[in-house]
Structure 1
Amino acid sequence: MVASISARKSVAAAVSYFKHMAEDEYYTGQGEAEADGEWDGRGAERLALEGPVSKADFEAALNGHDPRTSTRLTQIGKSHAPGWDMTFSAPKSVSVMWALSSPAERVRIEAAHRQAVRAATTHLEDHHAFTRRGKGGAIREPVAGLTIARFHHHTSRDLDPQLHTHAFIFNLAPRRDGSWGSLVSRNLYKAQKDAGAIYRAHLANGLERDGHAVERHGTSFRLAAIPRDIERAFSKRRQAIESAADTYGYRTAKGMELAALRTRQAKRPRERAVLFQAWQAEARTLGFDLTRARQQQAQIGARTRHGPMPGHEARTQSPARALPSVQQMISAIAQASRTSSSMQGLRISLRQRPGERDTEHER
């Protein structure tokens, strides 16, 4: 699902959520976590919240307080959720493109993703954010802004590339007269599909402007240079969920949630450089070369515009082959790095011998 929303039902649950969100799935070589997130929304601006999100500021806003002055802005009672997590996930082809691209290209892809998330949350802020006032909350009115903490993550629980952003929307919003109130949650849930479509449209347009060939399908899209069999190979989390659903006979949306819980593994932080090495090694094992694929897409585009180019034929996709898990690849890379002072020129054999089994999902 490209955009999903779920409530944090208590302040304690939301504080636990913050600790989880602030730890990205990969780390720098010095063992330090990536950026802890960033403030967004006109509500955050009114509270002078900008830059990285600290635990103290996050917890103060959860409790309905101004983080700067400790003034109570609104009452967060037991019957009110302190906030909602709206998650925006890039299509798998975008995440794979990001993982296999050069560092400079990765920066541009991630920037397009973040700008698309901002466009979607701004749309929520402008059109779907309402508060109540008066006796029994009888009066409903649009808010003057939202208070949002965004956390940018990059991997799935199975250590595949997965660009996604958690936008935590606090139940704390300014009214146009300067007072503060809680949000009407129903409007946020109803806007989920709309927000996802806006995110996808902005992301597709941004990537297309940057030179990527985009295939659109209704309100969805994919990057043409990433074949579907490669997408599937980098979707181990999805495959695990689908396998569990088949095993237990789950068919409904609720059933798929149960399948996701049954297959959920603890997050396993890894160093950034080792993850990129593993993803690129996996692509080589699949026989996929991104530079060649993008060149072929450029040729296809030229033929579409100007007619066939002599001597060029469309690429035929090869079937997906059995692969070792990302965890096994990371272990191979780590072993090689211990026997060499440099990763430069590293060559690793990752092909499985006949009879070997991938036990990633058996542990």
Structure 2
Amino acid sequence: MVASISARKSVGAAVSYFKHMAQDEYYTGKGEAEAEADGEWDGRGAERLALEGPVSKADFEAALNGIDPKTGERLTQIGKSHAPGWDMTFSAPKSVSVMWALSPPADRKTIEGAHRQAVHAATNHLEDHHALTRRGKGGAIREPVAGLTIARFHHHTSRDLDPQLHTHAFIFNTAPRRDGTWGSLVSRDLYRAQKEAGAHYRQHLANTLEREGHAVERYGTSFRLRAIPRDIERAFSKRRQAIEQAAETYGYRTPKGMELAALRTRQAKRPKERAALFQAWQAEARTLGFDLARARQQQAHTGAQTQHVPTRTHQAPTRSPARILPSAQQLISAIAMASRASSGMQSVRFNLRQKAEGRDQDREH
């Protein structure tokens, strides 16, 4: 699922969430301009509070409690029966994350910028069309908000250290009304708009990447980048493979069951040095016999990549045959070569167990 939403049921839980988001990115090091994991403010509600740039713990906690972080003025009452906010997570299609991981730094920056713009477009759509605030006794009166207060946290990997661009957009349960007062949000409307927000995110991201010269294959409300074969997507989806294996083992079939499978397979985070991760991903692609530059050149040569393609088709993408994976000895050799290339690189585990073609793997973080 590209867009998911979950409530933080208490201020204490939301403060712990902030620490997790701001300090616990899956890799360490900020040598490149796009390596930001400390969050940023967004939304017209944040603008009204003069909140911009990085998200500090003090400002985040004040907003959770319904207090203006700048003036200390109380904006709303956050009762025990009201969640202080919701985490809406937007995750890029796996082919986009793999393209980002295997591309040169300048192209990575462009892809990540497109992802962030798409997240902003989706939350702006929520702000304009699906966000209602309450007023009156028992919150009986509902009206459109004048804006949302959002803290965005950008992450880049799954727990299994595969590339996975995703953004956590924390929506505070404190929103400005059009008369200048503030009130709490109607959560039901946010949940109802989840799928629409995800579709809006994907459409914006696909359009932007297409303008940047990427060949896009659309199906339904989703898409993938044609330059990344499906078996390569699958190889870089170890988190999803682990969830599917757990679901098969324990007989989970329902959405709730899949959540339990995700919890059963959830590993402790293992921070890695950023440069080592990119080297590991590129070494894994070479081991699989995949060269991104060659793939894009072949597409351009055969005319597969064009500037304009139909905006939507109604057929699911065709399935690709599974690749034959290299032997264990070949993997060991590839890891050794990657390790010699970077003295700071830690041991990297390549779990390349692969099934036949599957769906886009979006929720891995």
TM range (shorter): 0.7 to 0.9
Q: Is 1:243 paired with 2:233?
A: no
Q: Deviations over 1:13-61 (max 9, x none)?
A: 000000000122112178xx84401000000000000000000000000
Bigger shift: 47-56 or 264-273? 264-273
Residues 26 and 34 in structure 1, CA contact (< 8 A), matched pair in contact too: no
Report the equivalent of 2:360: none
Aligned partner letter, 1:135: K
Q: Deviations over 1:209-251 (max 9, x none)?
A: 0000000001100000000000000000000000000000000
Residues 86 and 169 in structure 1, CA contact (< 8 A), matched pair in contact too: yes
Report the equivalent of 2:323: 319
CA drift of 1:328 comes to 8.3
Q: Is 1:5 paired with 2:12?
A: no
CA drift of 1:136 comes to 1.9
Report the equivalent of 1:297: 299
CA distance in 1, matches of 2:299, 2:289: 17
For 1:130-149, what aligned pairs fall within 5 Å after superposition? 130-149=132-151
CA distance in 1, matches of 2:14, 2:29: 26
Bigger shift: 294-303 or 256-265? 294-303
Residues 131 and 186 in structure 2, CA contact (< 8 A), matched pair in contact too: yes
Report the equivalent of 1:271: 273
CA distance in 2, matches of 1:303, 1:92: 19
- Find the residue that maps to 1:4 and give its secondary structure: strand
Aligned partner letter, 1:319: R
CA drift of 1:186 comes to 0.2
CA drift of 1:127 comes to 0.4
Aligned partner letter, 2:88: M
Q: Deviations over 1:177-217 (max 9, x none)?
A: 00000000000000000000000000000000000000000
- Find the residue that maps to 1:141 and give its secondary structure: strand
Bigger shift: 98-107 or 33-42? 33-42
Q: Is 1:85 paired with 2:82?
A: no
Report the equivalent of 2:29: 28
- Summarize the Cα distance change of 1:303–1:92 in structure 2 as closer, same or farther, 3 Å threshold: closer
Which of 102, 105, 108 matches 1:103?
Answer: 105
Residues 130 and 189 in structure 2, CA contact (< 8 A), matched pair in contact too: yes
Residues 25 and 268 in structure 1, CA contact (< 8 A), matched pair in contact too: yes
Q: Whose radius of gyration is greater, 1 or 2? A: 1
- Find the residue that maps to 1:136 and give its secondary structure: helix
Q: Is 1:74 paired with 2:102?
A: no
CA distance in 2, matches of 1:74, 1:173: 9
Residues 46 and 148 in structure 2, CA contact (< 8 A), matched pair in contact too: yes
- Summarize the Cα distance change of 1:43–1:329 in structure 2 as closer, same or farther, 3 Å threshold: farther
Structure 1 gap segments, 5+ residues each = 306-315, 353-363
Report the equivalent of 1:311: none
Q: Deviations over 1:124-169 (max 9, x none)?
A: 0000000111122221100100000000000000000000000000
Q: Is 1:232 paired with 2:234?
A: yes
Residues 22 and 153 in structure 2, CA contact (< 8 A), matched pair in contact too: yes
- Summarize the Cα distance change of 1:138–1:302 in structure 2 as closer, same or farther, 3 Å threshold: closer
CA distance in 1, matches of 2:27, 2:338: 15
Which of 39, 43, 46 matches 2:45?
Answer: 43
Report the equivalent of 1:255: 257
Residues 29 and 273 in structure 1, CA contact (< 8 A), matched pair in contact too: no
CA distance in 2, matches of 1:130, 1:297: 46
Report the equivalent of 2:180: 178
- Find the residue that maps to 2:167 and give its secondary structure: strand
CA distance in 1, matches of 2:159, 2:15: 21
Q: Greater relative contact order (Cα 8 A, min sep 6): structure 1 or 2?
A: 2
Which of 117, 120, 128 matches 1:118?
Answer: 120
Report the equivalent of 1:61: 63
CA drift of 1:300 comes to 3.2
Residues 230 and 320 in structure 1, CA contact (< 8 A), matched pair in contact too: no
CA drift of 1:301 comes to 2.4
Q: Is 1:156 paired with 2:155?
A: no
Aligned partner letter, 1:168: F
Bigger shift: 262-271 or 273-282? 262-271
CA distance in 1, matches of 2:178, 2:78: 20
Aligned partner letter, 2:8: R
Residues 35 and 52 in structure 1, CA contact (< 8 A), matched pair in contact too: no
Structure 2 gap segments, 5+ residues each = 308-319, 353-365
Q: Number of residues paired by the alignment?
A: 331
CA drift of 1:76 comes to 0.4
- Find the residue that maps to 1:22 and give its secondary structure: helix
- Summarize the Cα distance change of 1:254–1:351 in structure 2 as closer, same or farther, 3 Å threshold: closer
- Find the residue that maps to 1:169 and give its secondary structure: strand
Aligned partner letter, 1:73: L
User: Over aligned residues, Cα RMSD in angstroms?
Assistant: 2.6
Aligned partner letter, 2:9: K
